[in-house]
Amino acid sequence: MTISSSLNAGVTGLNVNASRLATIADNIANSGTFGYKRADADFSSVALAQSKGRYTAGGVTVNTFRNVATQGSLTPTSNPTDIAIAGRGMLPVTPTAALGQPGGAYPLMMTTTGSFTPDKTGILTSQSGLALMGWPALADGTIPVQPRDSAAGLEPVFVNLNQFAASPTDLIGLGVNLPAIATEAGAAGDPYQISMEYFDNLGTTKTMTAVFTPIVPGAGQSNTWTLEIIDGATGALPVAEFTIAFNDTPTTGGSVASVTPVFGGTYDPLTGNVSVAFASGPLEIEVGEPGGATQLTQMSAEFVPISLTKNGAPTGNLTSVEIDENGIVSAIYDSGFTRTIYQVPVIDVRNPNGLSAESNQAFTLSQASGPMYLWDAGSGPTGSTVGYAREESTTDIAGELTALIKTQRAYSSNAKIIQTVDEMLQETTNIKR
C-alpha cells in the first residue's frame, strides 16, 4: 500500500537524521581536538518502481564520511617536535603498541598533525599513542634511496637525549693575501706561516699550519710560492707540499694561476681545493680556481689573513631535535653542531576522503582511498612540514549549530509523518466498525 511506503519513508528519514545528528555531535565534541577532521552525512534518495495511478515512497539513505582533504588552521606551539603540514599530505605514524614486537613490522597509520616527544626508550611518540615514522640517515647525514610506494623503509624516529657527538673538520678555507714583493729578485725569501685549529674524529682540537715560502728569482718577479701543510697530530714535518703560481695580468692580477702538487696531496681545478691526508682522514683546503675568485691572493706588500674558516665541531651533548620544511629531522648539540638523523616523508593518496578513520585522529589506507606515495615534504602535491605548530580541528561551531537546528526540524517532521500515517491507518481501521 502507498500509505505503508509513506510510513517506511518516515522511518528512513528518522534514521538518516539520527546519523547526521551523530556526526554533528562528534564534530562539536571534537571542536578543540588537534588534527580532527570533520565528519559529514550525505543523503541520497531511494527511487522505487512506480505503478500507474499511485506513488510509492522510497525514502532516503545516508553516507557518512570524514572530510580529510580540508585543512584546519595551524597554531604555533613551544615544542619543536609539534608537527603539522602546511598543505596536502599526512605524516606516517604507527601505534606505540606495535613497538618492540618481534619481526619489526610496524602497521602504517597516518595523521595530519601530532605533538611528539621522546618516550622512555627515546622514540618520538604522541600522548595519544602514535609513534612518528621516518627514514633513518646514514652516518654522514645523507638519506639512502628508499621505496616510495610502501612503508618498507620507515622506522620509528629514535632520539637519544644522552648522546654525545662530534663533527670532524673536512674543509678549511684558507683566505690569505701574500705579499707580491716577496717574489721579486733580491727579496729575503723569508717564509710566512699561519696556524688553524681543526677537529679530529674524536672531537678533540688539533692544529694545522700552512707555511708559505716565496720563490725568489735571480731577476724579475716569479709570482710563485711553495705551500707546505703541517698536521700537528703527526709532528712538525709537512704532510703535503704544493707550488702555487699567481697571475699578474690586468684582469686577473693577484688570483691563482696554477697549483702543482709536489707530494702528499692533490689539486682539483674545478673546485679550487687541495686535498691532504691528515691523521683523522682526508681534509680539503680551499685555495681557489685558476683565474677565478680565489681564497689565496698575491697583492700589495703585506701578509694578511683575510678569511680563515673551517667546518666541524667539538664533542657536544644533544640538546634538542627539530624538523624543517623538507621533513629533515636534525639533532642539535650544544657545541653548535647539527646532524641529520631522519627524514619524515609526507604521504599522499588519490582520495584522502576515502581513508578509513581510526581513533586518535589517525587514518589507514582503504580501497576507496587508492594507493599511497611517499613524497619529500614540500615536493609534488604535498605541503611542507612545520615544526612548532599543530593543526586545529576543522569543526566550525557556528555551522554545526545551524546544522543541528535543521536536523532537529527534519527529525521532527519525519516523526510527524509517522504520526500522520498512524492516524490514517487508525481511520482505516475505524471504517470497519
Q: What whole-number percentage of the chain has pLDDT above 70?
A: 97
pTM above 0.85, yes or no: no
pLDDT tens-digit map of 398-426: 999 999 999 999 999 989 988 888 888 88
Enumerate domains of the chain plus CATH numbers. 2-67+394-430 (no CATH), 74-165+316-391 (no CATH), 169-311 (2.60.98.20)
Under DSSP, the state recorded for 158 is: B
For 223-265, how does the pLDDT look when each residue is reduced to its tens digit (9 = 90+)?
999 999 999 999 999 999 999 999 988 888 889 999 999 999 9
Instruction: Name the grid cell of 268.
Output: 682539483
Instruction: Compute the distance between CA of residue 11 and CA of residue 17 in angstroms, rounded to an integer.
Output: 10
pLDDT tens by residue, 336-394 = 788 899 999 999 999 999 999 999 999 999 999 999 999 999 999 999 999 999 999 99
What sign does the CA torsion over 133, 135, 139, 142 have? negative
Question: In which element (H, E) is residue 135 found?
Answer: strand 130-136
| C-alpha–C-alpha distance, residues 65 and 44, integer Å | 14
